[in-house]
Amino acid sequence: MRTPRHVLAACALLASLACGACAAAVEGGETNAALGVNPVARGAVAPVKATVTFGGDYRFDNGVVVSVSTPKSFRPSATAYPQSERAAAFEIVVRNDGAQPYRLSGFSVVATVAGTQAKQVVDATQGFSGIVEAGKDVPPARNVRMNLAFAVTPEPADLELTIRPEATSPVVVTYSGPA
């Protein structure tokens, strides 16, 4: 019964890519996440872009805390889609410190390598199936761990992951560093 699991993984991937297109188009001022400066709380109307280095975490106003590991380079298997010489993998932890359940279906991740949007790699053989729990809610005080991978250039390059917790979020966070 592997087919339903693969179909679910493909649907989750398509949903995350569709949601991620919105996050890729967002531009705005930067804020210092380490100091907790949040222009939205000061009445800003334009989307705000916070920047964090890989390995750090960021807390959104709705209580969602996102942690992204440093990228780990690997060679995708022969069954991976799309095929690429090299990919960068991340463990992303989404923790709900809010009072209400968090709907994971609104979560989007967009990767760019050297300024060009990267494709998400689905490689079930190595444990990279996209956001497979996208249909679930994360209860308060609970978390979800996911492993995502993106195709990167054969040589090291600057990599950014832009994350938006929901389509209407006025704040996006970008994790950046070498990959």
Dig out the tokens for 16 from the structure.
């995350």
Q: What is the pTM of this model?
A: 0.73
Dig out the tokens for 40 from the structure.
């939205």
Instruction: For residue 21, give the H/E element and its range.
Output: helix 2-24
| % pLDDT > 70, the chain | 74
**pLDDT tens per residue across span 50-79:** 999 999 999 999 999 999 999 999 999 999
Dig out the tokens for 37 from the structure.
């400066």
